[in-house]
Amino acid sequence: MRTAYTADQIRAAEHALMARLPEGTLMQRAAAGLAAVCATALGRVYGSRVALLVGGGDNGGDALYAGALLARRGARVEAVLAGSRTHERGLEAYLLAGGRVAGVMAVERADLVVDGLVGIGATGALREPYAELARAANAAPALTVAVDVPSGVDASSGRVAGAAVEAQITVTMGAPKTGLLVDPGAARAGAVELVDIGLGPYLPAPDVTALTGADVADLLPRPATESDKYRRGVVGIAAGSDLYTGAAVLAVGGALRAGAGMVRHVGQHAPVAQVRSHWPEAVVTELERPSIDGVGRVQAWVLGPGLGTGAWAHEVAASVLASDVPVLVDADALTLVSRDRSLLRRTAPVLVTPHAGELSRLIGAGRAEIEAGRLEHARAAAAELGVTVLLKGSTTVVAEADRPVRVNATGTSWLATGGTGDVLAGVSGALLAQGLDCYDAASCAAHLHGLAGRIAADGAPLNAADVAAAIPEAIRRVHDEG
């Protein structure tokens, strides 16, 4: 499992470790690791041009010491001193090694730019001249390597309030920072390289985690020799309407592909007919009235894809949410519960799967604000609503009260197409019916869905049905990794 930490957690661990080491040891370790990554990125150090963007804090010191090591190997290293003060010992070592001080033009002629402008404690928008230097680095043809986090990215949240360095590589010290795993910060980080400086024994419980394929394989249920369709999980799917028939087809397809023992679909005539045509293995019930009474045994429900938002859909939602099994609330059902919060007053578990706009309606925050601060708003929604939240988007996050937020790293931008969320709902519902709790079901489903998107796209456009079809291959791959 990958773990990440806030700036405060990292600083506390650093202080605990520094109390046991000679002064400057941690910076020397960090600088050596940074220089090694830069050397690998350059390929040939001797004769290369390196520009250092140096702020007044420890990240600037890391950059200067790393610059000294590169200068000793024959690189032409130029430092742009941005702060009103500079790390004195770092600058001294840098100049003794043959490094030079230069202006911003050094960035334009560099083969590699090292971003050491601000450290992990910085918050808010970059001030000048830092913002100008960040823009210069982004405009330069050189590869950019960030120290710890790209300047302008909030290390604890991934927020980007203004100009920010767009790094191709981020060399993070001691442990990954939360902002490197969550957009919009993650999009500025590039490939993240971890330098071990000895913080491990001093780190607390993580702020954020990300499941690996092996983690997902450990969590996924496997059928035993005595399994039957009921023991493998029966998922009910209340989805589709006369207007939106495809949503039901896609949700049912996701559930079937994810290993549910049985899928029961309930809905109006048009979606029922489509589901029966596409998925003859599904058990379908055309509802004569908006109630699930008499539908049969169900171990978890998926509620909402394409259901509509009128009175009929509201009564179906009320009937499903009155059950005593876990319910996933998606799409149109999110609109229904945003209008009528009383629908969520239940003792059985609830998983909601909104995108930013749907979460905006649920908690009253602006969509842009949610996109900028995905972690905090997912956490706030989980606490306020008493549910598990899977917030979809460029970084999918799963939040539940009193547990670390999980982020998903397997997605692809090709998944930004209609219907893929319906497939995700079906996969999540299948895992709920197979016995995973909301936190694990949402996390595993997001991982498999993202991986299936990559498999289906293979660098080209995809459609939602392609993603559903790729779910079994995604499951095979995580089992291979496990």
Q: Is residue 124 marked as binding?
A: yes
**Does 392 appear as a known binding residue?**
yes
Is 119 among the annotated ligand-binding positions? yes
| CA atoms within a 13 Å half-sphere pointing along the CA-CB vector of 301 | 28
Ligand-binding site membership of 61 (annotated): yes
Return the SS3 of 283.
strand
Residue 151 in marked binding region: yes
Q: In angstroms, rounded to a whole number, what is the distance separating the alpha carbons of residues 447 and 212? A: 8
Which of 421, 422, 425, 395 lies closest to 408 in space, CA to CA? 395
Omega cis (within 30) before 129 = yes
- The phi, psi pair for 389, rounded to 5°, reads -115, 125
Q: Is the peptide bond before 184 cis (omega within 30 degrees of 0)?
A: yes
Whether 123 has a binding-site annotation, put simply, is yes
148 is in an annotated binding site: yes
Q: Is 422 annotated as a binding residue?
A: yes
Per-residue DSSP letter, 226: T
367 DSSP 8-state letter: H
122 labeled binding residue: yes
What is the rounded distance in angstroms from the CA atom of residue 334 to the CA atom of residue 352? Answer: 8
Question: Tokens at residue 181, please?
Answer: 């795993």
- Which residues is 193 bridged to in the sheet? 171
Establish whether 58 is an annotated binding residue: yes
Secondary structure of 240-254 in the HEC alphabet?
Answer: CCCCCCHHHHHHHHH
Between the CA of residue 133 and those of 32, 86, 116, 185, 384, what are the distances in Å?
Answer: 24, 16, 11, 18, 41
Other CB atoms within 10 A of residue 284 CB: 20
Q: Is 79 helix (H, G, I), strand (E, B) or coil?
A: strand
Residue 247 φ then ψ, to 5°: -60, -40
**C-alpha to C-alpha distance for 165 and 150, rounded to whole angstroms:** 5
Q: Is 466 annotated as a binding residue?
A: no
- 62 marked ligand binding residue: yes
**CA separation for the pair 126, 173 (Å, rounded):** 21
Residue tagged 């982020």 (tokens): 407
Whether 167 has a binding-site annotation, put simply, is no
Judge whether 480 is annotated as a binding position: no
Is 103 annotated to bind a ligand? Reply is no
- Measured CA to CA, the distance from residue 179 to residue 153 in angstroms comes to 7
Annotated binding residue 183: no
Residue 428 marked as a ligand binder: no
Residues 221, 227, 231, 237: is their CA dihedral positive or negative? positive
Distances (CA, A) of 203 to 8, 137, 192, 380, 407: 11, 33, 19, 25, 19
130 is in an annotated binding site: yes
Q: How many residues does the chain have?
A: 482
Determine whether the annotation assigns residue 111 to a binding site.
Answer: no
Q: Is 440 annotated as a binding residue?
A: no
Q: How many helices (H) and strands (E) does the chain have?
A: 18, 18
Is 125 annotated as a binding-site member? yes
The answer on whether 393 is annotated among ligand-binding residues is yes
Strand pairing report for 397-399 and 405-407: antiparallel
Beta strands in 392-448 (DSSP E): 397-399, 405-407
Residue ranges at the known binding site = 58-62, 115, 119-125, 130, 148, 151, 247, 306, 355, 392-396, 421-422
Residue ranges at the known binding site for AMP = 392-396, 421
Residue ranges at the known binding site for (6S)-NADPHX = 58-62, 119-125, 130, 148, 247, 306, 355, 422
Residue ranges at the known binding site for K(+) = 59, 115, 151
